[in-house]
Structure 1
Amino acid sequence: MSLVARITSLAQRDALSVTGIALSAAWLFLVALFWLMSPGGEGSQGGIARLVTIMGAILPLVLIWLAVGMARALAVLRAEADDLRHRLVQLRDAAATRGAPLQRPAAEGAVAEDADSLPRTPAPMPAPAPSRPAPRPAEQRALPPRAEPAPAAPVDPDTLIRALNFPDGADDAPAIAALRTALQDPDHARVLRAAQDVVTLLAGQDLYMDDLLPDPAPLPAWRRYAQGERGSAVAPLGGIQDPVALDIAAGLLQRDEIFRDTAHHFLRHFDGMLARQLPQMDDAQIAVLAETRSARAFMLLGRLSGNFG
């Protein structure tokens, strides 16, 4: 937890403690007032009457401090969740603006090398125009029309497939070049960054895509999925059978709101990429695509999310 989140949590817990002390003092004052103003009775009270009186005085105090404890625990959880969400936003902003990939654990093998090799080239900032007086109407009519930016060159399927597998290390020059090329296309860049986020978060739980060995899915199943079919026709795409991997990913989807949003963001963009690109690929290219790290993450999370029926 960051320092700001810790200070916020402590401040909330102190405020809750003050509230609990105030309520306890008010209740004890009411008990004392009732005790002093109640009329005295003849004879002593029985044991049951004394027990009821004592429990009636103590139980509200117990309930007050039980509520204070639960509120303090909730404040801590809320501060930690806000801090995690803030950190993820900072990481994404840094990756988008400075070109720095998300950090991955040192134990990450080839997938960790991918993040170090993934370039995030920001668009060049236009040079400031020299100050000049506002043009007269005649000058405005004489100005040439502003040239539209040239569209990015199309990325061939082989380059995209190599980029979706990420580099195996800093020396994997062909994969690094493929990433640079694919990132020039905004649609491909969104898919690649979403895939990188998912693979990074899974690697943080010691779940690496290189360790997953999915059952090969028939190539027609990939084409049917790209055409929009769902259900039993595309069920073979959920070929990840590793129980440990399924348990880890399912637990993250259930309890981690940040991972759940990131996974759904990735699945949505990967779906769109398949719909656009698979009609342009032959069977050999689809088979290679299915073996990439991005596709393995898609098969794992798509199975748990019910995308394959």
Structure 2
Amino acid sequence: MSLIARIASLANRDRLTTVGFTLTGVWLFLVALFWLLGPAGTDGGPSGVARLVSIMGTVLPLALIWLGVSLARQLAILRAEAEDLRARLTHLRGEAAPVDDLPPPAPRAAAAPRAAAAPAEPQSAAAPRPAAPLPKPRQTADQRQAALRFEAQGVPVDATTLIRALNFPDGPDDVDAIDALRHALKDPAHSKVLRAAQDVVTLMAGQDVYMDDLPPEMARPDVWRRYAAGERGSAVAALGGIHHQPALEIAATMLREDEIFRDTAHHFLRHFDGLTARLVPELDDLQIAVLADSRSSRAFMLLGRVSGVFG
């Protein structure tokens, strides 16, 4: 339970308890009046059924009163937690400043510096493709890495720019990624999935789950192509390449208990699914590898594995 929820629980406990005791006292007073002022019984005394009805008529309202008090407490806690989540989400989004004013990303002591992975430049089909190294690890960035917002203006972008945008900027000095994100968000065909990915990455970072800390077990490019073509189940199970157990448990808990995150995650999974169907068939093997290592794809692997998307 969050700190705010605990405070709300303590603040409401005395008030709800007072209400419960008050209603209990009123009911017992009314019962006493009934017994004192009611008609006299027969000489033989009440039957067993009459006594049972009398006892139940006295006890059941008391049980209902305290059940209502308990439910009111739980409702107050749930409301406080929902307000806490909304406040944190608003705070995280409010930290997004203009690109030129963003401070350097705050380093985290537990994470080692890593170099950013850059998407491969598309090459002509006729030209030989030289061997290229696999994508390098990236530097760890804080919650602001996915908080940049731009308006969609209907400008199409190429695959390289889109892949770079899906990885999000490492910080205010990552000019290439910032420019790629700005241009990609102007394309209506991609802006929804990018914004959904931003929301998911930001919410997960609020729970100290960072995509930089979740290097996936890479699936072969043909698995991504089968998924983009519509195959599901065991044929594409390798796409669930995130095996970090604490992150999986946190994501599962958020999906189960947090309605806002659950709606956001399902919205993201739906749009990322459509993106793969459009984008993956256009990519070569190296570009697919870079796409799979992006922060957006890591979020897709994590949430898809927890949600059972990959069978």
- Name stretches of at least 5 consecutive residues in structure 1 with no aligned partner: 43-51, 124-148
Match of 1:120 in 2: 149
Match of 1:234 in 2: 236
Give the superposition deviation at 1:41: 9.2
Tell me, what secondary structure is at the counterpart of 1:224? helix
| Mapped partners of 2:238, 2:195: distance in 1 | 26
- Over 3 Å counting, the alpha-carbon distance change for 1:106 and 1:19 in structure 2 is farther
1:68-147, aligned counterparts within 5 Å? 68-80=68-80, 83=83, 87=87, 110=139, 112-113=141-142, 115=144, 118-122=147-151
1:199-278, aligned counterparts within 5 Å? 199-278=201-280
Q: Which amino acid letter does the alignment assign opposite residue 235 of structure 1?
A: A
| Mapped partners of 2:287, 2:19: distance in 1 | 66
Q: Which amino acid letter does the alignment assign opposite residue 301 of structure 2?
A: M
- Over 3 Å counting, the alpha-carbon distance change for 1:177 and 1:117 in structure 2 is farther
Q: Which amino acid letter does the alignment assign opposite residue 208 of structure 1?
A: Y
Do 2:106 and 2:142's aligned partners in 1 also have CA atoms closer than 8 Å?
Answer: no
Q: Percent identity?
A: 45
| Mapped partners of 1:81, 1:105: distance in 2 | 27
- Over 3 Å counting, the alpha-carbon distance change for 1:35 and 1:107 in structure 2 is farther
| Mapped partners of 2:146, 2:75: distance in 1 | 39
Tell me, what secondary structure is at the counterpart of 2:196? helix
Q: Which is higher, the Rg of structure 1 or of structure 2?
A: 1
Do 1:182 and 1:188's aligned partners in 2 also have CA atoms closer than 8 Å?
Answer: yes
1:8-27, aligned counterparts within 5 Å? 18=19, 21-22=22-23, 24-27=25-28
Do 1:20 and 1:68's aligned partners in 2 also have CA atoms closer than 8 Å?
Answer: no
| Mapped partners of 1:280, 1:37: distance in 2 | 87
Give the superposition deviation at 1:32: 3.2
**Which residue of 256, 273, 292 corresponds with 1:290?**
292
Match of 1:305 in 2: 307
| Mapped partners of 2:147, 2:140: distance in 1 | 11
Q: Which amino acid letter does the alignment assign opposite residue 209 of structure 1?
A: M
Give the superposition deviation at 1:38: 6.1
| Mapped partners of 1:206, 1:92: distance in 2 | 13
Tell me, what secondary structure is at the counterpart of 1:294? helix
Deviations 1:99-124 (A, max 9, x none): 999xx99859756447257532347x
- Over 3 Å counting, the alpha-carbon distance change for 1:230 and 1:40 in structure 2 is closer
Match of 2:193 in 1: 191
What is the aligned length?
Answer: 273
Do 1:183 and 1:189's aligned partners in 2 also have CA atoms closer than 8 Å?
Answer: yes
More deviation, 30-39/239-248: 30-39
| Mapped partners of 1:162, 1:253: distance in 2 | 28
Tell me, what secondary structure is at the counterpart of 1:249? helix
**Which residue of 271, 280, 283 corresponds with 1:281?**
283
- Over 3 Å counting, the alpha-carbon distance change for 1:111 and 1:272 in structure 2 is farther
CA RMSD of aligned residues (A): 4.3
Do 1:199 and 1:208's aligned partners in 2 also have CA atoms closer than 8 Å?
Answer: yes
| Mapped partners of 1:117, 1:212: distance in 2 | 16
**Which residue of 170, 173, 176 corresponds with 1:171?**
173
Do 1:155 and 1:181's aligned partners in 2 also have CA atoms closer than 8 Å?
Answer: yes
Q: Which amino acid letter does the alignment assign opposite residue 29 of structure 2?
A: L
- Over 3 Å counting, the alpha-carbon distance change for 1:251 and 1:23 in structure 2 is same
Tell me, what secondary structure is at the counterpart of 2:172? coil
TM-score normalised by length of structure 2: 0.70
Match of 1:155 in 2: 157
| Mapped partners of 2:92, 2:214: distance in 1 | 26
| Mapped partners of 1:33, 1:17: distance in 2 | 24
Kindly indicate whether residue 67 of structure 2 is the aligned counterpart of residue 67 of structure 1. yes
